[in-house]
Amino acid sequence: MSVLEIIAVVVSFLGIWLTAKRRMLCWPVNLLACALYFRIFLDVRLYADMLLQALFGIAILYGWILWARGREDAGEVVVLPLPPMRAVASLATGAVGAIAIGWLMHRFTDAALPWMDAALSSFSLVAQYWTARRHAASWLLWIVVDIVYVGMFAYKDLWLTAGLYAAMILLAVLGYKRWRVARHGHSHPA
């Protein structure tokens, strides 16, 4: 456990909590968390997760723009349904990405856990895309991904980060409940 990991955990927790509450401040806070974890993952040779943080940075900018455009007059971010075909296509893309990234990491790097790291990274991008698109289902995918992340980070002796991801499971449950309530309070088309 390093000072950098402690700071990254606090910033990440704050970012996810703000996301669950549908607050625009979540985007700059999450961007800072990405930068901190980019460095941490470089240090422990989780290269797919390091790359994921860079891609999250781009996805965060995308989500920030979409959320800024997708607010009601009262300033609340509108939650939209996830069309079934988009869900299937996104999950299929996540699977293809997991295989491609895993193969590259296994073949060309000294990554510690190339296949698991790749799968988690790929499906995290899917979950982030769904979050940016304001789909409550993003939280269900985050729950699954975060459960596996807890195990991987514990295995890599990143205990504080494993604890963060355990807490993020609880935040994802909260986020899902809040977003479902918000979704049912609106009748906006997909």
| pLDDT for 188 | 46
pLDDT band at 141 (very low <50, low <70, confident <90, very high): very high
Rounded to the nearest 10°, the torsion over CA 129, 163, 170, 63 is: -20
Q: State the pLDDT at residue 75.
A: 66
Domain span at residue 21 reads 3-184
State residue 51's pLDDT score.
Answer: 84
Domain assignment present for residue 126? The answer is yes
Residue closest to 94 by CA, chosen among 54, 63, 60, 48: 48
76-90 tens-digit pLDDT: 778 899 999 999 999
Task: Identify whether 190 is part of a domain.
Answer: no
In a domain, 29, yes or no: yes
The lowest-confidence range among 19-28, 65-74, 149-158 is: 65-74
Q: Give domain status of residue 189, yes or no.
A: no
**190 near 80, Cβ under 8 Å?**
yes
Q: From CA 177, how far away is CA 174, in angstroms rounded?
A: 5
Number of domains in the chain: 1
Question: Distance (Å, rounded) from C-alpha 116 to C-alpha 119?
Answer: 5
pLDDT > 70: what percent of the chain? 95
Residue 103 inside a domain? The answer is yes
